Amino acid sequence: MKPLEILVFGASGQIGRNLIRKLTKNNYKVIAVTRNTHQKGYVLKTQGNPGYLEIVELDTFNEDKIRDLFKTCSICINLIGILYEEKKNQFKKIHSSLPTLLAKISKEKNINQFIHMSALGVENALDSEYAASKLEGEKGVRENFENSVILKPSICYSIDDNFTTNFMTLLSRLPLMPLFYNGKTKFAPIHVSDLTEIISKVISNEIKNETIECVGPEELSFKEILKKLLNAINKKRLLVPMPLPVAKMQALFFEMLPSFLQGGRKQLTSDQLKLLKYDNISTKKYKTNLDFKFNRELKYFDKEVLKYSYMWKSGGEFSKIQK
């Protein structure tokens, strides 16, 4: 029996890599789309079972090339997203125009499912360009593929993320950590394995025409998250509330500083600072993964982070030997 073919855009990211591993394990054939096979291909090749993974390079969003990718697929999943704008990567292009185009082609090709990854809490952050582009993308998807499934996760974390790993790096090096908006912004962190399980269940249960908020088992403030990370790496640091005017100046500084001087990515932008004003938890406007009972048991933040936090402890994994 020929395996069902799934087209995945944004395959080389944290969610994409973990999703490929899960889908190929469940005997789906995955066509993984990435912008640079030379940089990302060697990582992707290790994620899928032999014969169940095809890697395709697409360095520009050429409509004709994208259409060719839909020839044999039954399902399309869009995971592409950016946290800040830089050079060719613009919010409108990545979050709005591309999802709309993919939904349109999916409708024309009459594929079974179109699954689009958006973000939680963007409805309230209307002063953020990131949030506005995400909302515009959701609208474009719904208008062009009415049976689409839109997933809206809170912060997704794992050893492959740019969230917990980045903050543990900063917490291990800096004597104090600034708290924006007094660290009161709430999140519902969801582990990447729980999120990929949700996607897998959406596919296997053939769910259509739904918007699903994807949350973890607990709501944590930004300050609580930092405290849990500090506990995981056995560090003590001052968590200092930062006045908003100072925070804005800091964001402007990081925006002007080239990414390669910041570890390859912007540490903070003015738009991200605006986003931090708003809670990143369930809005109650849509169903959540808890309502669908997708996950038998959701993973808790502190327990999962503890599994890979040793890399940021003094002395590494063997920093402390229990007698």
Model confidence band, residue 116 (pLDDT cutoffs 50, 70, 90)? very high
Q: Does 252 reside within a domain?
A: no
User: Any idea which residue has 């808790």 for tokens?
Assistant: 300
For the domain that residue 28 is a member of, what is the CATH number?
3.40.50.720
The per-residue pLDDT of the chain, averaged, comes to: 90
Model confidence at 14: pLDDT above 90: yes
Q: Phi first, then psi: what are they for 209, rounded to 5°?
A: 55, 55
Does pLDDT of 310 surpass 60? Answer: yes
What is the pLDDT, as a whole number, of residue 318? 65
- 226 domain residue, yes or no: no
Amino acid type, 105: I
Could you read off the pLDDT of 192-240 as tens digits, one per residue?
A: 999 999 999 999 999 999 999 999 999 999 999 999 999 999 999 999 9
pLDDT classification of 323: cutoffs 50, 70, 90: very low
pLDDT digits (tens, 9 = 90+) for 137-184: 999 999 999 999 999 999 999 999 989 999 999 899 889 999 999 999
SS3 43: helix
Average pLDDT over residues 285-303: 94
Looking at per-residue pLDDT, the higher value among 13 and 261 belongs to: 13
Count other C-beta atoms under 10 Å from residue 95's C-beta: 27
**Residue at 143 is within a domain:** yes
pLDDT surpassing 80 at residue 39: no
pTM of the model: 0.92
Percent of the chain exceeding pLDDT 90 equals 71
Does residue 305 form part of some domain? Answer: no
First to last CA, the chain: 55
Minimum mean pLDDT among 49-58, 68-77, 168-177, 288-297: which range? 49-58
- Full residue range of the structural domain in which residue 140 is found: 5-161+188-217+281-299
Please report, as a single letter, which amino acid is at residue 181: Y
Is the residue at 53 inside a domain? yes
Confidence of residue 120 (pLDDT cuts 50, 70, 90): very high
- 316 assigned to some structural domain: no
Q: Which whole number is the average pLDDT over 27-45?
A: 77
Which pLDDT does position 40 carry in this prediction?
62
Nearby residues of 44 by Cβ (< 8 Å), 6 or more positions away: 11, 12, 17, 20, 32, 34, 53, 55
pLDDT at 320 over 90: no
In a domain, 68, yes or no: yes
Question: Phi and psi dihedrals of 115, rounded to 5?
Answer: -115, 125
Mean of pLDDT values over 71-94: 90
Number of domains forming the structure of the chain: 1
133: closest CA among 101, 77, 94?
A: 94
- CA gyration radius for the chain? 20
For residues 99 and 95, give the distance between their C-alpha atoms in angstroms, rounded to a whole number.
Answer: 6
Per-residue pLDDT averaged across 14-38, rounded?
88
In a domain, 77, yes or no: yes
Tell me the CA distances in angstroms from 68 to 30, 177, 183, one per residue in order. 15, 48, 47
